[in-house]
Amino acid sequence: MCGIVGYIGKRQAAPIILEGLSRLEYRGYDSAGIAVYDGERINIAKAAGRLKILEEMTHNGETLSGFVGIGHTRWATHGVPNTVNAHPHYNKSETIAVVHNGIIENYIGLRKMLKEKGYEFVSDTDTEVVAHLIDYYYKGNPLEAITKVLHRVEGSYALGVIFAEHPDQLFAARKDSPLIVGQNEEGCFIASDVPAILKYTRQVTYVDNQEIVRLRGDHMHFYTVDEEEIQKESVTIEWDANAAEKGGYEHFMLKEMYEQPKGVADTLLPRIKDGEVVIDELNMTDEELLSVKKIYIVACGSAYHAGVTGKYVLESLARISVEVDLASEFRYRNPVMEEGAMVIVVSQSGETADTLAALRESKKRGFKVLGIVNVVGSSIAREADSVLYTWAGPEIAVATTKAYSTQLIALYLLALKFARVRKTVGDKEFAGMLDDLKKLPDQIEMLLSNKNHIQKFANRYIGAKDIFFIGRGIDYAISLEGSLKLKEISYIHSEAYAAGELKHGTISLIEEGTLVAAVSTQPELFAKTISNMVEVKARGAFVLAVTNEGNIEIEKAADYVIYIPETNPCFANSLAIIPLQLFGYYVAVGKGCDVDKPRNLAKSVTVE
């Protein structure tokens, strides 16, 4: 959430910054602003709403001349989304401008102190406190002032700062909010994420916690919060810049759904070698894997739903106890963790604040942590003991599709690896599972090719007020994600329930014409799920069923059936989720919703 872009160099800064911000729109925002030094003063332009308003206001940056500047897309936390609260923020003499991602937790106390010193505030934000605090400590040395501020503030931040008195320098600092820097022959850049600057450079350096960067037009220097200079290594971004473009699709979300076969194959196939699952990134011997007594999977949102599936698959195949936690609950409930446990944290961005906090809490307690992430060099990737990358490529749409699908693959591979080491799956069964996994990319592609049927069905429910998803076991996990996909992009109230819980209250919500999507992919649970379908149909529900080829018995209880290809029941989520993704997408499109950027949501949730 929120996006920062900054530039200093030989070219006009404003057009570069605005273009970079446009490539960060997927992160979620409600206002935008830009500050550029024109040779005499720092000029700021801000606007509530979409970035397009700011672009039109500044004629795509042409009205803001200058070679150093910072820009920001804001997702409101402190203060309503309006022009006054939008970033950048000035100091009192308008000689310092600041953009900020994150939350300053002690801003109230700092604000009170600054008011007593004579500072006046025009916004309700915590960020304006940072601007005035830098001013308070500034005595001509920007680096010294920034370090003093960082010692005073508590919370999370990624900062971009420019000084009118030092127009040849751009400063950035970071703690718990993502920040990268890059350089080419024409200048230096700061950004919240790689897509913002990938057009200009593939060499990026990840700023670590409590580090400060001073950028000039032709070089960068890195410092600790104690002003000690440090050396940093850059990394080369390998993926194609075109991967972050729509490529002719109406929305990024649709494009990314169609990229799922490739993402699944890229994550899966390199880790199957000579009939075995080989995960070199684990950095664990078979003996160490065998010594793991319990697994905790910790994640948020869709990654949590992938973790729920992971629990069922790991327990079924490897016969190891697995506990799944929402990261926002795990980090605060003071969990009792068993000795010999392993923690798996799952995050698309690798920057999810609650998941990152759970990782740190687990490491503090002495537990080994494996990160499953999609972004190379992200905070979780750097801080986990080992990392299993999902090779989904850049995901721009806020509602995840391909990252979720590749997270499932990573968890399947882990389950099979544990099962092999623990000898809980026979050779023939193991080989059959590998064959089923290898078929998934083609099967997903086949399901995507049937989009027209799902689109027609979705058009019937554009005006729906409530939709329910039910399932048992892995089908419940599928239902959780199917429901989330629908609600987050279409704004239709949707809930997922374990089908066996219907009669414990939820069935009272079923009315004539209510759509109930019943997921039934687990053969041993077919009969039970059909009973639940009959229950809701008897109360007037229209039942959509997602089930396996050959389960024609379900047609007696369902009004509309979507069949998925045959696969091992443990891997059914990878197929059953595809029609549910498409259903949610086409309902949202039919309603005219902003599919890629749903209201109030952000791609990377870097605050609590």
Q: Any idea which residues carry the catalytic annotation?
A: 2, 603
With contact defined as beta carbons under 8 Å apart, do 401 and 581 qualify? yes
Burial class of residue 592, CB neighbours in 10 A (0-12, 13-18, 19+): exposed
560-564/276-277 β-pairing: unpaired
d(CA 543, CA 498): 16
Cβ-in-10-Å burial (0-12, 13-18, 19+) of 340 comes to: exposed
Q: Where are the beta strands (DSSP E) in 76-202?
A: 89-90, 96-101, 157-163, 170-175, 180-184, 187-191
Reduced to 3 states, what is the DSSP secondary structure of residue 387?
A: strand
How buried is residue 339: exposed, middle or buried, by Cβ count under 10 Å (0-12/13-18/19+)? exposed
Q: CA-CA distance, 195 to 393, in Å (whole number)?
A: 11
Phi, psi of 172 (to 5 degrees): -145, 150
Structure-token match 């309603």, residue found: 591
Neighbours of 57 (CB within 10 A): 15
Q: Is 397 exposed, middle or buried (0-12, 13-18, 19+ CB in 10 A)?
A: buried
> Could you please report the per-residue DSSP string of 558-597?
-SEEEEE----GGGTHHHHHHHHHHHHHHHHHHHT--SSS
| Phi and psi based region of residue 187 (left: phi greater than 0; alpha: psi -120 to 50; beta: remaining) | left
Evaluate the omega torsion of the peptide bond into residue 88 and state whether it is cis, within 30 degrees of 0. Answer: yes
172-201 in b/e burial notation, b at 16+ Cβ within 10 A? Answer: bbbbbbbbbbbbeeebbbbbbbbbbbbebb
**Quick check: 127 and 61 in contact, CB under 8 A?**
no
How many CB atoms sit inside 10 A of residue 247's CB? 11
Alpha carbon 453 to chain centroid, angstroms:
30
Which among 186, 189, 170, 180 has a CA at the least distance from the CA of 234? 180
Give me the amino acid identity at 348.
Q
Amino acid code (one letter) for 20: G
Q: Which of 381, 311, 321 is nearest to 351 (CA)?
A: 381
CA distance 416 to 424: 9
Distance CA 130, CA 97 (A): 10
CB 214 within 8 A of CB 190: no
